[in-house]
Amino acid sequence: MDLSTIIGLVIGAICIGVALALGGTMQAYVDPVSMLIVLGGAAAATMTSVPLARFFSLHRISLKTVFHRQVPATEQVATLVDLAETARRDGILALESRLEEVQDPFLITGIHLAIDGSDAEVIEHTLRSELDTLIERHEAGRSMFEQMGKYAPAFGMIGTLIGLVAMLSNMEDPSAIGAGMAAALLTTLYGALLANLLFLPLADKLEARTCEESLAKNLIIEGVLAIQSGENPRMVESRLRTWLPPLHRSTPDMADAMNYQFREAA
């Protein structure tokens, strides 16, 4: 579970709620009609712009911002080096007995290709095609939240204009003008809040998820190609570490794990 998404949304909601409470009664900021215009309009516009099946997958996509565990890159490197050590010591066919320990379907696909004796070009083409498809699928989901973040403020303004027209068409009671103006402006408030506190942050989080997963898959591609070519585990580890940020290229935990594996191999 990604706590940063939940904590960020909660802190944002609390800050806005405290500001609204200090600025007046909370009841003054509640208008179901305004919320209906913003949410309904943004959802309808997004539905119009994408295939229906993709739109109805929005709830599953949103769960990836919270219920998602990405294997750390350092752990991914350690796993690949361990597999490389097995292939180097016992032969690449010995990896078949290790597949039960592997959880990532992408890595399983790559290992199967290597075990089957596929050429490096075939392995790389197959895995990169699968990675490109995965990125396109993630981008399609992320773009829906970005679209809703774009449409929500626009429908907030539309709701404000509707409210102003209704208010100006009924000017017999001047004392009601202030309340009518406040209600009209609420749709703009709702649109700005939903876009900047919910939709656009979730779109950015999904983009970060895509970057993390792309890095993990590229590590797997490089690792599988190194294993297929029969590289020394030390060279595999050195090759994969170049994909990591400088801060994580030589962590104590990884160094201990690598030294242990190399001692066992010796």
Reported as a single tens digit per residue, the pLDDT across 139-167 is: 988 999 999 999 999 999 998 998 888 78
Q: 23-51 pLDDT, tens per residue? A: 777 787 888 888 999 999 999 999 999 99
The pLDDT of residue 254 is above 60:
no
pLDDT score recorded for residue 41: 94
C-alpha 74/C-alpha 77 separation (Å) is 5
User: The tokens of 48 are what?
Assistant: 């119009």
Q: Tell me which amino acid residue 91 is.
A: G
- With a CB cutoff of 8 Å and minimum separation 6, the contacts of 118 are 126, 228
Q: Which DSSP string corresponds to 88-153? A: HHH-GGGGGGGGGG---HHHHHHHHHHHTT--HHHHHHHHHHHHHHHHHHHHHHHHHHHHHHHHHH
164-180 pLDDT, tens digit per residue, is 887 877 777 676 676 67
* Average pLDDT value over all residues in the chain: 85
> In this predicted structure, what is the pLDDT of residue 257?
43
pLDDT at position 238, please?
86
If you average pLDDT over residues 99-112, what whole number do you get? 90
Whether the pLDDT of residue 4 is over 80: the answer is yes
Report domain extents, the chain: 1-30, 32-265
Q: Please count the CA atoms within 13 angstroms of the CA of 113 that sit on its side-chain side.
A: 25
3 state SS of 68: coil
- Provide the pLDDT for residue 63: 81
